[in-house]
Structure formats: C-alpha cells, structure tokens
Amino acid sequence: MPELPEVEVVRRGLERWVAHRTVAEAEVLHPRAVRRHVAGGEDFGQRLRGHRVGVPSRRGKYLWLPLEDTGQSVLAHLGMSGQLLVQPHTAPDEKHLRVRVRFTDALDTELRFVDQRTFGGLSLHDNTPDGLPDVIAHIARDPLDPHFDDEAFHQALRRRRTTVKRALLDQSLISGVGNIYADEALWRARVHYERPTAGFTRPRTQLLLGHVRDVMNAALSQGGTSFDSLYVNVNGESGYFDRSLDAYGREGLPCRRCGTPMRRRAWMNRSSYYCPRCQRAPRVSS
C-alpha cells in the first residue's frame, strides 16, 4: 500500500536507474494497466518510443517521467499493489507483469510495471506550464513539498464540514496521505479520526501537520513500508518501516503510550486504528 514515502523511494530509484535513458520499446501486456491512456496500449507504446526520459517528479502518490522535448510525461500511480521494478533483461517475467519498457543503451536493465490488483497504472499526458501532467492539476501539494501552504490548509479545514481523517485522505486538500499514515499521524497527535475539522485551532492544525511530516520522514529514512511483499522498491528490496507502526494493524495490542488495548473500527469501507484513551471520541459523532 504505497503512500508518499514509498512512492518517493521509487522516484529516487527511477532517478538513479532510468533518468536520461532513451526508450527503445514499451510493451503493454494488460490493457487495464494503461486504461487512463484512452488511445490504448499500442498507441501508448508508440508514443514513448525514441524519447529520452528526464528527471522523475512526484506529487503525493503520483509520480511521472517527463519525456524530453515532447511537453508530455508518463504518469504512474501504484494504486494498492503496483511496483516499478528495474530488472535485468534475463529476469523471468513476474506473474503480474503489466508493462515492460526497454531502452536503447547497452545497460542490461529494463523498467517493469508489475501490479497484482491493477488499481494502479501508467498513462501519457500533456504537461501544464508548471511541468505537471494536466490530469493531476487538482491534486494538492504534499506536506513534504516546500511550497505546501500550512495556513491555506488550516483555512480549508475550517471551511469544510467534515471530519479530520476524511480531510487527511482528501487529495485535493493535502496529498500523499493514505489510510496507514493517517492513522499513525492521528495517533501521534492524540486526535480521534472523527474529530470535526471546523473547530480546529491553528495550533492543532500545526500539531497534526507536524506529526504527518514526522511519520513520513521517518518512513522515508527507512526506505518505505512493506507488509505482504506486494510492495517493494524500485530495486526489488522490501522496506522495513512496518516494524515501527504505532497504530495501523495493532487491534487489541497495547497502546505504546498508555497500554490501553488499541481498537479497530470499520470506517468508509476500510479500517481505522486508534487508542480509545489517548484519542478521545468527540462528544457528538455521526
């Protein structure tokens, strides 16, 4: 379940192993992997051919490879189970290999998009004047972006009639936060997931943002999170951050602060993990 830190690890891997290489051939093995590319897999491959890859960028959970001198980028989203792997040509095809990109140089590696559940995908889009693929113009800056506007985020929270975890997962308000890091940041901030955002004070918003950044930076420094080996980084190595999680997946285990058994609640077709003592529910919850 790649969120911002995992996607950033992948981006760094691509910068190291794929940037500045010229595409010889892109082969689409499953149409769903390029479903956002309306013209289809054949067209996708042809449009990549012969173009040189620039420095990979990322916003939230999206990352993209600029194609030099085209004004376009290959946009990637890993979804639930997507991986971008740099593999030797001789490595056997992965069971869920969806797209293969070969390059014109003599290096013995190729880029592979592997995705079991096919929630992720690749697509090709025009760039906006900011150098952003046009279809993700609505995605907010992420909390590790130096241009993220804390005050604007606070004002947006005050305006919304919603609850804090919904807001954290709303990629148009703040991007890159998924279910895992939302629960981790809320636990660290001692805030219940159903707390209404309209009553947030500036200090509370700052506290929460600080913990979002801390938990993401901690994960980033450890190479990303991995649970069931569905996610591995660009070199095929698992992350190690799962050992450090304080909330996610810890139902029934003692809170690491106060020892109270952690709880799991069904929430929006997924789960929320929290400490019932450290993270008090708001009086009126709906």
Positions touching DNA (CB under 7 A) are 1, 3, 32, 60-62, 77, 79-80, 95-96, 116-119, 135-136, 160-162, 166, 169, 171, 178-180, 248, 264, 266, 268-271
**Active-site residue (options: 3, 6, 8, 194):** 3
The answer to whether 175 and 140 have CB atoms below 8 angstroms apart is yes
For DNA, which is the closer residue by CB, 23 or 56?
56
Judge residue 269's burial from the number of C-beta atoms within 10 Å of its C-beta, 0-12 exposed, 13-18 middle, 19 or more buried.
exposed
For DNA, which is the closer residue by CB, 135 or 144?
135
Please, what is the minimum distance in Å from the beta carbon of residue 67 to DNA? Answer: 20
Distance set, CA 106 to CA 53, 65, 263, 283 (Å): 16, 21, 54, 64
Q: Is 270 a catalytic residue?
A: yes
Please, what is the minimum distance in Å from the beta carbon of residue 254 to DNA? Answer: 20
Distance set, CA 218 to CA 7, 205, 212, 239, 243 (Å): 14, 20, 10, 12, 12
For DNA, which is the closer residue by CB, 201 or 285?
285
For DNA, which is the closer residue by CB, 16 or 32?
32
Cα 9 to Cα 219: distance, rounded to the nearest angstrom: 10
Please, what is the minimum distance in Å from the beta carbon of residue 32 to DNA? Answer: 5
Q: Is 3 a catalytic residue?
A: yes
For DNA, which is the closer residue by CB, 23 or 168?
168
**Active-site residue (options: 21, 61, 165, 195):** 61
Please, what is the minimum distance in Å from the beta carbon of residue 281 to DNA? Answer: 16
- Residues forming beta bridges with residue 102, ordered by sequence position: 25
The answer to whether 98 and 60 have CB atoms below 8 angstroms apart is no
Alpha carbons within 13 A on the beta-carbon side of 182: 25
Q: Is 95 a catalytic residue?
A: no
Q: Is 261 a catalytic residue?
A: no
Residue 13 parent element (H or E): helix 4-17
Other C-beta atoms closer than 10 Å to the C-beta of 255 total 20
Please, what is the minimum distance in Å from the beta carbon of residue 101 to DNA? Answer: 22
3-state SS, one letter per residue, for 132-194: CEHHHCCCCCCCCCCCCCHHHHHHHHHHCCCEHHHHHHCCCCCCCCCHHHHHHHHHHHCCCCC
Residues annotated as catalytic are 2-3, 61, 270
